[in-house]
A and B are shown apart, each in its own frame.
Chain A
Amino acid sequence: MAELKDLASFKEEIEKCVKCGACRAYCPVFSAEPREGRVARGKVTLAKAILQGEVPLQGKVLEELSQCLLCGSCHVQCPNKVPTEEIVAAARRHIAEQNGLSTFGKTVSVVLGSQKIMDTLMRTGGRMTHFLFKKVPKDSGLRLRFPGSVIFPDRTLPALSAIPFRERVPERVQGERGKPTVIFFTGCGINYLFPEIGEAMLKILHFLGVTVIIPKEQVCCGFPAVSAGAKNTVEALAEQNFSTLKKYSADYIVTACASCHAGLTRIYSDMGGEFKAIADKTEDICAFLMKNGLLEKLAPFAQAKNFQAKEKINVTYHDPCHLRNSGITREPRAILKTLSRVNYIEMAEAGTCCGLGGTYSVYHYDTSKKIGAKKAGHIANSGADWVATDCPGCIMQLNDSLNHAGLPQKSVHILELIAREIYEHSESL
C-alpha cells in the first residue's frame, strides 16, 4: 500500500532547524516577499506549532503554508539539511485532513475533491477549451495547474494537444539488440501539452538503438497533488503507476520532466517497500543519455560539413529545481556543449526556481510573476536566444515570464535541441 508520511513523523526533522536564517538567502518566495512567514524557518516553526496545537488551522497560517514552491532550494543549502519542502507538503496534507479538502479552498490549492472548482474547470476560457480539456483525466496534475476558475487572462499557456502523445505512438518501439530497454514515463505535461518533446525523446532513443516502452495506462506522477496536500490522490496515483509499470520488464524508467522525476524518485521512495523499486529504476533523460553514449555518437557531427556552415544559436540552461536537488546539473550542460549548432552560455542564477512550483503559480500568480521576472532578466542578460531546460513545467513558466517582460527569447526542452541536431544531420547524409 502506498502511504505518505504524516506530519507527526517529521518531528525529528522539524527539531533539526536551528533557525540560523540561512534559508532567507535562498528562498525564491522570500526574495519576492521578504516576510519571515514566507521563509523555511518560519514554515518549519509553524509546522511545529500546528503539531502542538498552538495555532488554529485557519487564516494566515494556511496562507503561509501555501506560499511555498516546494522547490527545495532551502533544503539543499540548509546547514542541517532540514527537508522543508517535505514538511510543508506534510503540513498541507495534515490541514487538508483536518479541515477537509474543500475548506482548504484557495489558500492551498486543493482543487480535487471540491466539486465546485471541478465544475468551473470545465468552463475554462481561452485555449483551454471544453472539448480538449475533457481528455485530461480528473486526477491529472494539469487539472491542478490550470483550474479554470483561477486562470489569469494574461497568462501564456501552451495549447492542449488535440491528440495526446501516448495516443500518437505505439506502446513499444523496438530498438537494437544488446541495447537497453526503457519505460518512458511521459507525465502529463508531455502527454497533453508538449507531445513534440515526447517525439524528440523517441527520435533520440531510436538514434541510440534503445527500445522504448510507453505504457498507455500510466497516470500522473502525483506531484501536483502533493503540492495540493491531496494525500489520497497521491497514493491512488502511485498505486496505479506501480501496477502499470511492474507489468513491463525494462532496465530503466526515464523521465523528461523534473517534477515527474521527483515524484517517482523522492515521493515514491518515501512510500517504502515495493514503491522504492520504481524510484531505484528511474533516471532523468539527460543522465540516461550521458551514460548511454550520446556524446560519443554526437561528437562526429561537429566535423560534418553542413554543420560547420550553419550559424550557431546562443543557448543557456535553466536548472529545474527538482533535478538540481538530485544533483543533475552537469549532464544537461555537457550535452548542450557537445551540440554543434549550440553556443552554450551560462546565465547568472541558473539554479534558482522559475516560480511555477507545482500548483503554486495558480494561486499566487503575482508572486510567481515576480520570481519569474527575475529569471527572465537573467536569461536576457546572458545574451542567449534560447533557454533550454529539462522540464515542461519550467518551459511553460519561462515562456510566460519572457512574454511578460516583452523579451524575444524562447524556452525549449533540451531534447528538442538534440533531436533537431540528429534530424539535420540525417538530412544531410
Chain B
Amino acid sequence: MINPKIVDALEKIVEKAHVSTDKSDLICYSYDASQQMFLADVIVFPKNAGEIAQILRMANKENVPVFPRGAGSGLTGGSLPTKGGIVLSIERMDRILEIDEENLVATVEPGVITEIFQKEVEKLGLFYPPDPASLKFSSLGGNVAENAGGPRCVKYGTTKDYIMGLEVVTPLGDIITTGCRTMKGVVGYDLTKLLCGSEGTLGIITQIIIKLLPLPQAKKTMLVFFSSIEGAAKGVSKIIAGKIIPTTLEFMDGRTLECIRRATDLKVPDEAHAVLIIEVDGDPEGLDKQIHRICTLIEPFGSVAVHIAETAEDSEALWQIRRAVSPSLGKASPDRFTEDICVPRSKVPDMIRILESISEKDTIDIACFGHAGDGNIHVNILFDKKVSGEREKAIKVIEKVFKGALKLGGTMSGEHGVGIAKAPYLYLEVSQNAVSYMKTLKHALDPNNILNPGKIFLEK
C-alpha cells in the first residue's frame, strides 16, 4: 500500500481527476508491448513541465520511484513500473505547439502521436521521416526516449537525427532545456543526443524541438521475390554498393513467406524464399531511372518475380505482404520473442546463415524480416509456451542470436532499446568500464534512483 500522503500530494499538484489508484487503472497501466505486467500504486496524468517538476521533487522527498510512460507501445518494458510507485503518463501533453515553415522546425509536446504529427507537417509540404512500425499509435516522447527507428531510416536516419533540442525535467525536478533551434550549435555537452535513447532514466521529456525536411515530391515502390535469402541479401549489398540509397529496403525470409502463404490469400510464388520491398523517393523523373538501375543490379541474384507499382493503390497492394507478417507469424505459432539485432549491412548474409544454423541445431523455428538496407533484422523466435521446455529453449536461443550479431560487429538492438528485456545481456555488448561510465552518469543525475529505476542496468 502506498503512503496516502503521496496520493494527496499528487492530487494537490495535478487535480484529483488526473490521479488514480483504482485497480482497473493500475491494471490498464501495468503493461506495454513487451507483454509483461507490473502494477503501480498510483497513475498520474500531468499537463506540463511545472507539474512534472513538482512530482519529481515530491518523489525524491518521499523516496518513491517514478516511471514515465508514453503510449505504452515499447517492446522491451522501458515504461513498466517494475517497482510499483508512480506511473507518470504524458498522454495529456499532446499539443503541437509550433510548425515554423521558414526555419523548418517544429515544437511539440511529448504525447503527440507520431503519425498525427507527420500528417500535420505533410499538409505544409514538410517531412518528418522516422517511421517506427508503431507510428500510428506511439508517442513522439516515447520515440525520443527510445530513439525509435523504422524502414525509412536507411536513407533518412533515426529519431535522434531529427531532434534539435529538448525541454526536460531532471530526476531531481529541475526544468532544463538542451540544444537549440539552429542548424548548428556546439555550446556545451550534447545533452540532446544523450537523452535520445536514454529510456526515461535521465529525465522526463516535456517538449521536443524537431528538424523537418521538405516533403519528397514522389515515391515509387517495387517488390522482388528471390529464390534464396542469400540472393536477396547479395542484391541488397549490390544496391548499396551501386551508390543508391533507397528510402526503404525491407526483406522477409523464406520461413516468414511460408507463414504468409498459409495464413493469407496473398500471392507468394512457390519458388520464392525471400522478398525485398524497395522504395525510392525524390524527383518524379529520377524515380523510374533509379528503379530501372535497381532492377539491373539485382537481376543476377535469382529474382523470381518483380512487381513495380505504377499507382498509389499498386504500392499499397505491395505493402500488404509486409503488413501480413505479424498476424501470419501469430497464426503460425502462439508465442514468439522478437529481437532486433543490427549488423553491418554487408554482413546480412552471414547473419542469416548464423540464424539458420542456430535454428537447425536447436530445432527451433526462426523467422526473419526487417530492414535489410541498414542491417536491422527482426529475429522472431517461435515457440509455444504451453509446451514444457519450449520457452526456456527460446530464451537460450536469444543469447546465441545476440552473440552471433556481436561477432559480426553488430549490436543487440537497433531500435527497441534495452529496457528490462535486454538488461541481462547488456554486458555481452557493453564493456564493464563503459557500463560503469553510464552508471556514474545515472547516479550523479538521479542520486536517489527515483526515475525509471531497474531499466537498462540489471539491479541486484
Which residues on A are within 8 Å of B, measured CB to CB? 15-16, 18-25, 34-37, 41-42, 45-46, 49, 54-56, 59-61, 64, 79-81
Contacts and interface: CB of A to CB of B under 8 A. Distances in A.
B94 A34 contact: yes
Among A36, A41, A49, A81, residue most surrounded by chain B Cβ atoms (within 10 Å): A36
B118 interface: no
Given A36-B29, A79-B330, A22 B35 contact: no
B24 A21 contact: no
A55 B73 contact: no
A19 B33 contact: yes
B327 A20 contact: no
B31 A45 contact: yes
B293 interface: no
B138 A37 contact: no
Contacts of A46: 24, 27-28
A242 B355 CA distance: 56
B24 A24 contact: no
B326 A79 contact: yes
A56 B137 contact: no
Given A37-B28, A79-B330, A18 B33 contact: yes
Contacts of A61: 23-24
Given A18-B33, A21-B73, A35 B91 contact: yes
Contacts of B91: 34-35
Nearest to B138: A21
12 contacts: A20-B33, A21-B134, A22-B134, A23-B137, A34-B91, A35-B25, A41-B31, A42-B28, A46-B24, A49-B24, A61-B23, A61-B24
Given A25-B115, A25-B137, A60-B22, A81 B28 contact: no
A45 B28 contact: yes
A24 B28 contact: no
Contacts of A79: 326-327, 330
A35 to B, nearest CB: 7
Given A24-B73, A36-B25, A60-B23, 4 more contacts: A18-B35, A19-B72, A20-B326, A49-B27
Among A15, A35, A80, residue most surrounded by chain B Cβ atoms (within 10 Å): A35
Interface of B (DSSP majority class) = loop
Interface string B21-63: 0111101111111010000000000000000000000000000
Contacts of B334: 15
A61 B22 CA distance: 9
Contacts of A18: 33, 35, 330
Contacts of A35: 25, 28, 91
Contacts of A49: 24, 27
Contact of A36 (B23, B28, B92): B28
Contacts of A20: 33, 73, 134, 326
B22 A59 contact: yes
Nearest to A81: B327
Contacts of A80: 326-327, 330
B115 A36 contact: no
Among A16, A22, A23, residue most surrounded by chain B Cβ atoms (within 10 Å): A22
B334 to A, nearest CB: 8
Nearest to A16: B330
Contacts of A19: 31-33, 35, 72
A143 B91 CA distance: 37
Contacts of A36: 25, 28-29, 72
B137 A24 contact: yes
Contacts of A15: 334
A105 B410 CA distance: 59
Contacts of A16: 330
Contacts of B31: 19, 41, 45
Among A18, A37, A46, residue most surrounded by chain B Cβ atoms (within 10 Å): A18
Contacts of A21: 32-33, 71-73, 134, 137-138
A258 to B, nearest CB: 25
B327 A22 contact: no
A16 B327 CA distance: 10
B138 to A, nearest CB: 7
Interface in B101-121: 113, 115
Interface in B303-339: 326-327, 330, 334
A49 B24 CA distance: 9
A45 B330 CA distance: 19
B33 A60 contact: no
B136 interface: yes
Nearest to A12: B334
A127 to B, nearest CB: 36
Among B25, B73, B136, B137, residue most surrounded by chain A Cβ atoms (within 10 Å): B137
A45 to B, nearest CB: 6
* 9 pairs of A and B residues whose beta carbons are closest in the complex: A25-B136, A36-B28, A21-B73, A24-B137, A42-B28, A61-B24, A79-B326, A60-B24, A25-B137
Nearest to A63: B24
A21 B27 CA distance: 15
Contacts of B22: 59-60
A235 B113 CA distance: 42
A20 B326 CA distance: 11
Interface in B64-78: 71-73
Interface in B128-173: 134, 136-138
A79 B334 CA distance: 13
Interface string B1-36: 000000000000000000010111101111111010
Contacts of B136: 22, 24-25
A110 B94 CA distance: 35
Contacts of A45: 27-28, 30-31
Contacts of B33: 18-21
A329 to B, nearest CB: 15
A374 to B, nearest CB: 13
Contacts of B29: 36
Nearest to A36: B28
Nearest to B72: A21
A102 to B, nearest CB: 22
A21 B91 CA distance: 14
A394 B137 CA distance: 27
Among B24, B71, B72, B137, residue most surrounded by chain A Cβ atoms (within 10 Å): B24
A17 B270 CA distance: 31
A236 to B, nearest CB: 32
B262 to A, nearest CB: 15
B347 to A, nearest CB: 29
A354 B34 CA distance: 33
Nearest to A25: B136
A37 B25 contact: yes
A193 B158 CA distance: 56
B442 to A, nearest CB: 28
Contacts of B32: 19, 21
B24 A64 contact: yes
Nearest to B116: A25
Nearest to A80: B330
Nearest to B37: A45
Contacts of B20: 60
A38 B85 CA distance: 23
Nearest to B330: A80
Nearest to A23: B137
A22 B71 CA distance: 10
B137 A60 contact: no
A55 B71 CA distance: 23
A125 B276 CA distance: 64
A24 B25 contact: no
B330 A60 contact: no
A18 B330 CA distance: 10
B114 to A, nearest CB: 10
A47 to B, nearest CB: 11
Contacts of A59: 22, 24
A64 B27 CA distance: 12
Nearest to A15: B334
A32 to B, nearest CB: 13
